[in-house]
Amino acid sequence: MSAVTNAEEIDGIRFRSDMTVELVKHAASDADVIWAARVSTKGESSLEELERDPERSKGLIRFLMRDRHGTPFEHSSMTFYVRAPIFVFREFMRHRTFSYNEESGRYRKLQPEFYVPAPDRKLVQVGKPGKYEFVEGTEEQYRLVVEATKRSCRQAYAAYLEMLEAGVAREVARGVLPVNLYSSMYATCNARALMHFLSLRTRREGSAFPSFPQREIEMVAEQMEALWARLMPITYEAFQAAGRVAP
Ligand SMILES: Cc1cc2nc3c(=O)[nH]c(=O)nc-3n(C[C@H](O)[C@H](O)[C@H](O)COP(=O)(O)OP(=O)(O)OC[C@H]3O[C@@H](n4cnc5c(N)ncnc54)[C@H](O)[C@@H]3O)c2cc1C
């Protein structure tokens, strides 16, 4: 398939194919897990004490993960700033153990930034519901997706502007905008909630319970996973070893 560029700006309307994830703040480390777990056997202890016996700490984290003692993984916090299309947020917000704040289409004029699939996005679904896979589309199908998407976004945004210029409220005018419009949000979670999210929104070899997420939310999940793995490497390794089952 030829490389059709799709990240471009036409008449002030931006099209892109990527998702942005930033870790804006965090209080999350492997020590937090050990510290919380050890209250049951040692009582109160300091976080510094935990650094003294790293091998024992690793063993404890692996045990907690394997036996699904999940609560010690809740004593952490990560806040991500995510920029992704609205249809991704719709799936994302089904995860109720995250806290969310999203930009408002009532208080702000929405910016003309729209998602268009990249050339490597598989376009065709083959198989029955519950047992299907996605395969490459033809060049013609890809061109159609890009052209039809861009045409319809430009038309929708023009209608949005027309209504705003006529004095219609933003909350009414936004009704014509499509779900591939980019939005932004802060999403805060703990490590246990993140593992649950990752187990459902990524597709990986070696998962005890394979999931089949939509590619676009998986693109967000992959970035979150990479950021989290750096903060809690022992917990991350234990999660992988346990078949990516959230404790
Ligand atoms: C591949 C895929 C396809 C999907 N397709 C659809 C679809 O077609 N239609 C659709 O509507 N949704 C769909 N979903 C969303 C799905 O049904 C869940 O809403 C989503 O995955 C969040 O899962 P969760 O409820 O386990 O997570 P969370 O809301 O993050 O909750 C985490 C865990 O907390 C516990 N919990 C949270 N709230 C409650 C509660 N009220 N009562 C009891 N326990 C609770 C549960 O143990 C839960 O597993 C899909 C999800 C995936 C991954």
Check pLDDT > 90 for residue 64.
yes
Supply the residue whose CA is at minimum distance from atom 53 of ligand 1: 200
Distance between CA atoms of residues 199 and 77, nearest Å: 18
Given ligand 1 and candidates 195, 200, 216, which is best to mutate, with the most ligand atoms within 8 Å of its CB? 200
Kindly report, residue by residue over 124-142, the tens digit of the pLDDT: 999 987 788 899 999 999 9
Binding-site residue numbers are: 71, 91-96, 102-106, 174, 190-192, 196, 201
Sign of the C-alpha dihedral computed for residues 154, 156, 158 and 164 taken in this order: negative
> Is there a contact between 205 and 191 (Cβ–Cβ < 8 Å)?
no
**How far apart (Å, rounded) are the C-alpha atoms in residues 72 and 238?**
14
Residues marked active site are found at 201
Q: Residue 218 pLDDT > 70, yes or no?
A: yes
Average pLDDT over residues 61-67: 96
pLDDT over threshold 60, residue 146: yes
Helix (H) or strand (E) holding 125: strand 124-128
Known binding-site residues for FAD equal 71, 94-96, 102, 190-192, 196
Mean local confidence (pLDDT), 221-235: 97
Tell me if 207 CB under 6 Å of ligand 1. Answer: no
- The fraction of the chain above a pLDDT of 90, given in percent, is 83
| pLDDT above 70 for 164 | yes
SS3 for 79?
strand
pLDDT at position 3 over 60: no
Whether the per-residue pLDDT at 57 is higher than 90: the answer is no
Rounded distance between C-alpha atoms, residue 160 and residue 37, angstroms = 53
Strand partners, 8: 15
> Residue 131: which H helix or E strand, with range?
strand 131-135
- Cα 44 to averaged position of ligand 1 atoms, centre (Å): 35
On the question of pLDDT at 5 being above 80, the answer is no
What is the distance between the alpha carbons of residues 44 and 177, in angstroms, rounded to a whole number?
54
- Dump the DSSP string for 93-120: TT-TTSEEEE--TTTSPPP-EEE---TT
Of all protein residues, the one whose alpha carbon is nearest to atom 17 of ligand 1 is: 94
Provide the pLDDT for residue 40. 75
Give the CB-side neighbour count of residue 108, counting CA atoms within 13 A: 8
Which atom of ligand 1 has the smallest separation from the CA of 197? 30
Q: How many helical (H) and strand (E) elements, i.e. helices and strands, does the chain have? A: 8, 9
**Ligand 1 neighbourhood includes 132 CB (under 6 angstroms):** no
- Give the tokens for residue 80: 């991500």
Nearest-5° Cα angle at 140, 136 to 142: 50
Q: Is 196 in the pocket of ligand 1 (CB under 6 A)?
A: yes
Give yes or no for residue 156 having a pLDDT over 60. Answer: yes
Q: Which atom of ligand 1 is nearest to the CA of 193?
A: 30
Please work out whether the CB of residue 217 comes within 6 Å of at least one atom of ligand 1.
no
Type of residue numbered 177: L
Distance CA 7, CA 5 (A): 6
Distance CA 126, CA 133 (A): 5
Pairwise CA distance, residues 49 & 10, whole Å: 58
